[in-house]
Structure 1
Amino acid sequence: MTAQLLAVPERCTGCMRCATVCSALKEGMFRPSRARLHVVNFPLEGFSAPGICFHCPKADCEKACPEKAISRDEHGAVVVDRSLCNGCGDCVAACPYGMIVLDDEAKAFKCDLCGGDPACVKECEFGALLYGKPEGDLLKARGLQMKQRMPGEMAPEEKRRNLAVNLMKALRSDG
């Protein structure tokens, strides 16, 4: 099994450092809305959840792309070749987690694991983001997160919010 990006929502403080470093690295500016991961904050509930791309073994976004612009790289990351992307948005609708979106140029963008060394993980002081081979409780948590698939007709933001709500409920019912 290759290394995977993992989210541990109960450790997330909602500080946005992960999204800030991601946008700085990928976009050359501090613009968390352009990050490849998304933190959903519920300040009144005292809960935050990092939304990450799971680089699904059978990636729906890859299957949906009519131009074959989405593939898997040598690190196991599902990546977008922007030169092949036609901006149709089929991949956006296909992703059940809302983790692939179109930019201002109508080109798909998503997490690429920073070439196997995710900057967001290094920036996360509280261990809410990990990169490695999941086992034990982390493997179980990843499975729980991946079961929270949302329908294609939802907007990516709505998918991410619903995923976070479901995780919050699940974590609070276990505690």
Structure 2
Amino acid sequence: MEKLLLAIPNRCTGCNRCTYACSAVKEGMFIPSKARIKINNFAHEGYSVPSVCFQCPNADCMKACPEDAIIKNERGVIAININKCTRCGECVSACQYGMMEQYDSGVPYKCDLCGGSPACVGECNFGALVFKEADKVSRKLRSQQMKQRQTDGRPDQKRHKLAKVILKEAVRVPRTANYMG
């Protein structure tokens, strides 16, 4: 059965443990700027919004690749075949959620769900990141977030615009000492 990586913004504390875990797994060291998950902090509002790759059913990054270097694997995960990649950056521009990025060398990178056990989810103490079998509620949440496409800007700008809309629509509750989401 299909599993989805979900971000639940009203539970995110902005601790960035997920970005540290991701970069440690993917880069072999703590480099949050190279993590496949990003946290958008809205300090004045007291909220943070995780940005995750939606593993789009009809992925624009995959369609944009002139070399067919981006594929959907047997688990339904959008992955990059680096051996076919020409480093053109079309996939980065095409991702309307800002979740495809490139190293300085031009090689693109994105979330691959850590082979089915996302490290970011394991580090999220408050349940802001969930990896679960798709059900009616999780599909609805993902669908609402995916409607907020951004066509202009760099990946960080697209993520920030998307996060602002998600935050605006999120259920905000006062946080107390006993708050757990």
- TM-score exceeds 0.5: yes
Give deviations 1:110-152, integer Å, cap 9, x for gaps: 000111111111111111111112324332211110001001x
* Paired-residue identity, %: 50
Asked whether the equivalents of residues 4 and 138 of structure 2 are also in contact (C-alpha less than 8 Å), the reply is no
* Counterparts of residues 62-77 of structure 1 (less than 5 Å): 62-77=62-77
Q: Distance in 1 between matches of 2:27 and 2:173?
A: 38
Change (3 A) 1:174 1:128: closer
Kindly state the Cα deviation for residue 172 of structure 1 after the two structures are TM-superposed: 5.1
Point out where structure 1 has 5 or more consecutive residues left out of the alignment.
none
Report how many aligned residue pairs link the two structures. 174
Match of 1:29 in 2: 29
| Structure 1 CA distance for aligned equivalents of residues 155 and 132 of structure 2 | 26
Deviation readout 1:73-103 (Å, 9 max, x if unpaired): 1221101111221111100111010000111
| 1:101-112 mapped onto 2 (5 Å cutoff) | 101-112=101-112
Q: Which structure is larger by alpha-carbon Rg, 1 or 2?
A: 2
* 1:150 alignment partner in structure 2: 150
In structure 1, the residue matched to 2:8 is: 8
Compute the TM-score of the two structures, normalised by the length of structure 2: 0.91
Listed as ranges, the gaps of 5+ residues in structure 2 are 175-181
Displaced runs of 4+ in structure 1, greater than 4 A? Answer: 172-175
* 1:43, distance to aligned residue in structure 2 (A): 0.9
Secondary structure at the residue paired with 1:39? strand
Name the SS of the counterpart of 1:4 in structure 2.
strand
- Per the alignment, residue 179 of structure 2 pairs with none
Superposition CA RMSD, Å: 1.7
